[in-house]
């Protein structure tokens, strides 16, 4: 056997005083870390297989388990980190591209944490959301440029372009059936329906069981066109053209044949067991004019009743691209930042391509305002929203709403072990193995999602009230409500905010 140059990343610590050898850890670990030794009557572990998903820790009834960073190290080096060395060993062994999942975990600046929110004191009263009305409802879609009136003087309402009505400015971001499980999709769909918001099918089509959630569904059309047909387009409340994804801008997708089960194959309309490959570009889109053709093809197919979203990754010249999209006839632009998650992406792409969503959002909003086309489109931002404060900051920077996906998966049990690509998700989320999928009970899942979003809604209302603002509309683009800390002149200029103390 060849030498294994690498060391296990994590160590499994088992407290022998507490372990009762109930073997729950063994039964719950799809990576087969734990095993029972009948001779000694004790549990053993092979930490080299551990991905630190914490399933065993969470289910151990006596709290006998701990997963810790393996203290074993290569010789410490301020330049050659453990990960750098370890990845070279892996590539030298396999000759393959490194794959990763979920969002960029590298220590790039987090602008959300360098932005502070204002509050009212003395002269401008704050509002108590428990006692006074506080509006979190918002509408996404193209807004008319001027008020038109009927001959009798009343305001015309029938010419309003199609809108998405959100009770809370939070939508569940695109995650395809295939990359996540049936039960995860069902949890998202049911939660979206209960919350009065939307979830997004991702590029994998819509399972026949979920057509009933259509009024709360955004259906996606991506470069692979998986599962796209007339009924699918008709089923959704809006259609999203996916150009790019924050976790892997510039490249397509690859769902391995192992995940193309019977149901996934039917939903995606591709043969069972074949790899589902999304090309990097849409082969019919090489210009804004081409994009306009697809936007209008989809509008035509759905009789101009549904808003069209165009989703792009936040890249260097995102403002100019967004300006083009706003002129393409799209109703909503979704921008996905570099912290956005994925079910699988080349590690180098995930960790090095794209820009922070905070900067992209501020740049796009500013550019669209300068060009006086901001009301042509609504802006949804995605990729790295972690909590309700991030939502408030995003809206104050100019977003109409936010997409969340990683927080939704975390609510469903995801522990960000970032190994979705191997398809053995112990939490029943990023897997198609029936024995693992059943671990996510949607009856529990959708309630957890509802709890999360309701909690954020309450927090958003508290923060808005503190600022003396009682509606999302009044907070949108209200950058005076934000101040930067520890940011340089250029960063403040791009974000369009003042420094704290100014």
Residues at the site binding another protein, with contacts judged by CB under 8 A: 17-20, 22-24, 27-28, 41, 58-59, 61-62, 64, 434-435, 438-439, 441, 443-444
The count of other CB atoms within 10 Å of the CB of residue 250 is 13
**Least distance CB 263 / another protein (angstroms):** 16
Instruction: Write out the two tokens for 199.
Output: 């979830």
In angstroms, what is the minimal distance from the CB of 207 to another protein?
17
CB of residue 433 to another protein, shortest distance in Å? 9
Q: Which is nearer to another protein, 58 or 98 (CB)?
A: 58
- Nearer residue to another protein within complex by CB, 27 or 283: 27
420 belongs to an annotated ligand binding site:
no
**CB nearer to another protein: pick between 63 and 106:** 63
Beta carbon nearer to another protein, 412 or 497:
412
Cβ at position 64, least distance to another protein in Å: 7
Ligand-binding annotation for 414, yes or no, is no
Q: Can you point out the beta strands (E) in 65-130?
A: 65-69, 99-100, 115-117
Phi–psi pair at 174, nearest 5 degrees: -65, 125
Which CB sits closer to another protein, 352 or 441? 441
Return the number of the residue (62 or 352) whose C-beta is nearest another protein.
Answer: 62
Annotated ligand binding at 425? The verdict is: no
Angle at CA 281, nearest 5°, toward 278 and 283? 95
Pairwise CA distance, residues 225 & 209, whole Å:
20
What's 376's DSSP letter? G
Least distance (Å) between residue 258 CB and another protein? 17
Output the smallest distance, CB 456 to another protein, in A.
Answer: 24
Q: Which run of H or E residues covers position 221?
A: strand 217-221
Q: Print the SS3 string covering 423-475.
A: CCCCCCCCCCCHHHHCCCCHHHHHHHHHHHHHHHHHHHHHHHHHCCCCEHHHH
In the complex, minimum distance from the CB of residue 19 to another protein, in angstroms, rounded to a whole number: 8
d(CA 85, CA 13): 25
Beta bridge partner(s), residue 482: 117
- Comparing CB distances to another protein, the nearer of 114 and 190 is 190
Tokens of 458: 């309450």
Nearest distance from residue 29's CB to another protein, in Å?
Answer: 11
Residues linked to residue 35 through DSSP beta bridges, in sequence order: 44
| 63 versus 272: smaller Cβ distance to another protein | 63
Closest by Cα among 303, 293, 330 to 230: 303
Which residue reads 């999928």 in tokens? 437
Pair 280, 250: CB distance under 8 Å: yes
Q: Is 29 annotated for ligand binding?
A: yes
User: Min. distance of Cβ 261 from another protein in angstroms?
Assistant: 14
Q: Is 164 exposed, middle or buried (0-12, 13-18, 19+ CB in 10 A)?
A: buried
420 in Cβ contact with 343 (< 8 Å):
yes
Evaluated on CA atoms 109, 472, 335, 231, the torsion sign reads positive
Q: Three-state SS for 186?
A: helix
| Residue 13: CB atoms within 10 Å | 12
Minimum CB separation of residue 410 from another protein in Å reads 17
List the beta bridge partners of residue 378: 332
Of residues 32 and 284, the one with the C-beta less far from another protein: 32
Judged by phi (left if over 0) then psi (alpha if -120 to 50, else beta), residue 486 lies in left
- 127 or 440: CB nearest another protein: 440
3-state secondary structure (DSSP) of residue 188 = helix
Q: Which residues sit in the known binding site? A: 19, 22, 25, 29, 50, 53, 56, 60
Q: Which residues sit in the known binding site for [4Fe-4S] cluster? A: 19, 22, 25, 29, 50, 53, 56, 60
């Amino acid at each position: 056997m060849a030498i294994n140059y690498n060391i296990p990343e994590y160590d499994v610590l088992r407290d022998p005083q507490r372990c009762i050898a109930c073997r729950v850890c063994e039964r719950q670990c799809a990576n087969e870390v734990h095993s029972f030794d009948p001779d000694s009557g004790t549990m053993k572990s092979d930490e080299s297989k551990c991905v630190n998903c914490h399933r065993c820790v969470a289910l151990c009834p006596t709290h006998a388990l701990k997963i810790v960073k393996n203290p074993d190290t290569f010789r410490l080096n301020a330049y050659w980190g453990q990960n750098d060395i370890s990845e070279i060993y892996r590539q030298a062994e396999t000759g393959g591209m490194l794959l990763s999942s979920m969002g960029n975990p590298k220590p790039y600046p987090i602008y959300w944490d360098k932005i502070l929110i204002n509050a009212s004191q003395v002269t401008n009263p704050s509002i108590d959301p428990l006692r006074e009305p506080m509006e979190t409802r918002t509408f996404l879609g193209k807004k008319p440029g001027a008020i038109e009136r009927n001959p009798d003087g009343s305001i015309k309402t029938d010419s309003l372009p199609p809108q998405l009505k959100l009770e809370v400015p939070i939508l569940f971001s695109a995650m395809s059936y295939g990359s996540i499980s049936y039960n995860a999709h069902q949890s998202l769909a049911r939660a979206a329906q209960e919350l009065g918001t939307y979830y997004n099918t991702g590029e994998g089509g819509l399972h026949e069981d979920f057509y009933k959630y259509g009024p709360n569904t955004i259906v996606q059309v991506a470069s692979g066109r998986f599962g796209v047909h007339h009924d699918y387009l008709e089923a959704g409340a809006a259609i999203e053209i996916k150009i790019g994804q924050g976790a892997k801008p510039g490249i397509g997708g690859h769902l391995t044949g192992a995940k193309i089960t019977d149901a996934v194959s039917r939903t995606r309309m591709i043969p069972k067991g074949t790899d589902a490959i999304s090309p990097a570009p849409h082969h019919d889109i090489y210009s804004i004019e081409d994009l306009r053709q697809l936007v209008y093809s989809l509008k035509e197919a759905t009789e101009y009743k549904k808003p069209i979203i165009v989703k792009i990754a936040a890249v260097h010249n995102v403002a100019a691209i967004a300006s083009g999209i706003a002129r393409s006839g799209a109703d909503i632009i979704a921008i996905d930042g570099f912290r956005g998650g994925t079910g699988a992406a080349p590690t180098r792409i995930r960790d090095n391509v794209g820009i922070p969503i905070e900067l992209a959002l501020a740049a796009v909003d500013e550019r669209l305002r300068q060009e006086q086309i901001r009301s042509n489109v609504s802006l949804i931002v995605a990729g790295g929203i972690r909590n309700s404060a991030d939502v408030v900051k995003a809206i104050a920077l100019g977003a109409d709403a936010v997409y969340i996906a990683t927080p939704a998966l975390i609510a469903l049990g995801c522990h960000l072990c970032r190994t979705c690509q191997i398809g053995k998700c112990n939490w029943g989320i990023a897997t198609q193995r029936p024995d693992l999928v059943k671990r996510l009970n949607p009856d529990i899942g959708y309630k957890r999602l509802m709890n999360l979003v309701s909690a954020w809604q309450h927090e958003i209302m508290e923060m808005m009230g503190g600022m003396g603002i009682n509606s999302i509309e009044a907070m949108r683009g209200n950058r005076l409500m934000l101040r930067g800390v520890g940011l340089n002149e250029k960063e403040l200029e791009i974000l369009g905010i003042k420094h704290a103390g100014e």
